[in-house]
Amino acid sequence: MEAHGAVGAEQDVSILTARCVEMASTLGFSKAALDQTVGILSAYIGTKLTAVNSSRERAGCLAKRCSLTQS
């Protein structure tokens, strides 16, 4: 759970991108360097966010099905 009450995978891509750039800059990496490594950073984060949310949904559906069959 994040400070603002949103689970990390539910936050806005622009907010997560800005936080990533801010953290990377403390390590000496620029946004350009990040973009060069992963492509467009916001698109990369958006893709990862979608994947996490999809896997959570699949896991939730599986858990619901399992609990229904065990009742």
CA distance 5 to 69: 33
Assess if residue 2 is contained within a domain: no
| 1 pLDDT above the threshold of 50 | no
Assess if residue 62 is contained within a domain: yes
Assess if residue 3 is contained within a domain: no
Assess if residue 41 is contained within a domain: yes
Its pTM surpasses 0.85: no
Instruction: Identify the domain containing residue 64 by its residue range.
Output: 8-69
pLDDT tens-digit readout, 4-36: 555 555 678 999 999 999 999 999 999 999 999
| 71 pLDDT above the threshold of 60 | no
Is-contact 46 18, C-beta < 8 A?
no
Assess if residue 61 is contained within a domain: yes
Assess if residue 1 is contained within a domain: no
CA distance 9 to 31: 21
Assess if residue 44 is contained within a domain: yes
Structural domain count of the chain: 1
